[in-house]
């Protein structure tokens, strides 16, 4: 039995925050942001939308496109760094509730921007073991809820959104998720961190006053390690599976910074046409960035059944990973 990525779906909030809007909020310019990051605008969820609402809407689309009923889903996993609630209930449980899914395992994972690659690894293992048949995986983020809009080094980078997929079982090897490699190294934890609101710095007046509830990043250091790690990941997974870059139909890197994507893409000799790029319109949506980019390709008819996708992610933790995945979705709307 193999695991297949049967469908993709996405949801982007309606509100657009442009670089020009940010010029009015912090000391920055459209020119600086565009040149250093490639980002032009990002979506921001409204005050009455929470992460599970975004994940729910992306999931509805993925379920419908997979052609299954919600009662056929036997597990729900959500990757998020901006959950509805800090400890419980999980965002996956909230998404399940909104979908009307009952009596199946639902839980969140914390792997920051590598979340979707981790989800594929988990879902693949559960399906291949025979334990589950139809797994809903969701990367959903309301990152605006953990951003300090007075900190120009982070607020320009991130946006909200969600992406979801159905991973099901198949006997057809040509549809299979080929391989996933993923790792973490907590020694780099401090370089990209939300220091407050956990057991280390609990929610207290002094911690909140120090803005510890917001994300902090040593951007330049993260940048250098991200380029190296994202490149090494790809080399490792291609070599391990004896696949050449020419055999990849589409490269879907995590959308964090256009310069990071460009550096990795050119080192690996992937053409621009073969590389997914949504950074300019969505910014960095963390765990949602890869499925949102995949959905964009799907809706623009740039991926088709059987195409070999190479996913590549890096994020806080640090975490990183790559996946070789055949697109096994059949229905175009
Ligand atoms: N507008 C204008 N100037 C800014 C700015 C902004 N929004 N943010 C930082 N600057 C300034 C800095 O203060 C610094 O000024 P100085 O030279 O006077 O000290 C200068 O720009 C250069 O800062 P630096 O941090 O070296 O810029 P950079 O080229 O590394 O770009 C990032 C900054 C954040 C865009 C870049 O480092 C990055 O993308 N990092 C990785 C982000 C990432 O991938 N994160 C998530 C991983 S999943």
pLDDT in tens, 208-252: 999 999 999 999 999 999 999 999 999 999 999 999 999 999 999
Examine the residue annotation and report whether 254 is marked as an active-site residue of this protein: yes
Q: Which of 261, 182, 268 is nearest to 227 (CA)?
A: 261
How does the average pLDDT of the chain come out, rounded? 97
**Distance (Å) of CA 107 to CA 88, 177, 203:** 10, 22, 23
Is the pTM higher than 0.95? The answer reads: yes
Told to judge if 113 belongs to the known catalytic residues of this protein, a careful annotator would answer yes
192 alpha carbon – ligand 1 mean position (Å): 13
pLDDT band at 330 (very low <50, low <70, confident <90, very high): confident
Q: Based on the number of CB atoms within 10 Å of its own CB, is 271 exposed (0-12), middle (13-18) or buried (19 or more)?
A: exposed
- Torsion over CA of 331, 303, 6 and 254, rounded to 10 degrees? -140
- DSSP at 27: S
Distance in angstroms (rounded) separating the CA atoms of residues 77 and 260: 28
Whether 315 and 113 have beta carbons less than 8 Å apart is answered as yes
In this structure, the strands spanning 192-193 and 319-326 are unpaired
As for ligand 1, residues whose beta carbon falls within 6 Å of it are: 28, 32, 36-37, 113, 152-153, 156, 217, 219-220, 222-223, 226, 256-257, 260, 284, 314-315
pLDDT on residue 332? 61
**Residue 161: its pLDDT value, please?**
98
pLDDT computed for residue 220 by the predictor: 94
Does 329 have pLDDT greater than 90? yes
Query: Hey, CA dihedral for 107, 110, 111, 114, is it positive or negative?
Result: positive
pLDDT at 331: 65
Q: Is 300 a catalytic residue?
A: no
pLDDT attached to residue 139: 98
Catalytic residue selected from 113, 134, 257, 295: 113
Q: Which residue has the tokens 């792997």?
A: 111
In the predicted model, what is the mean pLDDT of residues 67-73?
97
Domains of the chain: 2-172 (3.40.47.10), 177-326 (3.40.47.10)
Looking at 134, 155, 254, 257, which residue is catalytic?
254
CA distance 190 to 270: 32
Interval 261-295: pLDDT, tens: 999 999 999 999 999 999 999 999 999 999 999 99
Give me ligand 1 centre to Cα 269, in Å: 26
Q: Which atom of ligand 1 has the smallest separation from the CA of 315?
A: 48
């Amino acid at each position: 039995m193999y695991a297949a990525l049967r469908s993709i779906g996405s949801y982007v909030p309606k509100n657009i925050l442009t670089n020009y809007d940010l010029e009015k909020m912090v000391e920055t310019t459209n020119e600086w942001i565009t040149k250093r990051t490639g980002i032009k605008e990002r979506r921001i969820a409204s005050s009455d939308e929470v992460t599970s609402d975004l994940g729910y809407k992306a999931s509805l689309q993925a379920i419908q496109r997979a052609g299954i009923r919600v009662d056929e889903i036997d597990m729900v996993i959500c990757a998020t760094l901006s959950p509805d609630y800090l400890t419980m209930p999980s965002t996956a449980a909230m998404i399940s509730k909104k979908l009307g899914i009952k009596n199946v395992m639902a839980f969140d994972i914390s792997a920051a921007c590598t979340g979707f690659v981790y989800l594929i690894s988990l879902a693949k293992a559960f399906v291949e073991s025979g334990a589950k048949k139809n797994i809903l995986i969701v990367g959903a983020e309301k990152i605006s809820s953990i951003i300090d809009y007075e900190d120009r080094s982070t607020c320009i980078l991130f946006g909200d959104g969600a992406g979801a997929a159905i991973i099901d079982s198949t006997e057809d090897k040509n549809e299979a998720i080929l391989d996933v490699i993923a790792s973490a190294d907590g020694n780099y934890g401090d370089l990209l961190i939300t220091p407050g609101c956990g057991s280390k710095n609990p929610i207290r007046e002094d911690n909140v006053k120090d803005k510890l509830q917001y994300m902090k990043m040593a951007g330049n250091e993260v940048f250098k390690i991200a380029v190296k790690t994202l490149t090494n990941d790809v080399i490792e997974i291609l070599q391990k599976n004896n696949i050449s870059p020419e055999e990849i139909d589409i490269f879907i890197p995590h959308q964090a910074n256009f310069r990071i994507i460009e550096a990795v893409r050119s080192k690996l000799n992937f053409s621009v046409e073969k590389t997914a790029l949504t950074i300019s319109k969505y910014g960095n949506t963390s765990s949602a960035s890869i499925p949102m980019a995949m959905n964009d390709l799907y809706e623009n008819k740039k991926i088709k059944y059987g195409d070999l996708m190479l996913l590549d992610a890096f994020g806080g933790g640090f975490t990183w990973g790559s996946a070789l995945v055949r697109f096994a979705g059949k229905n175009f709307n």
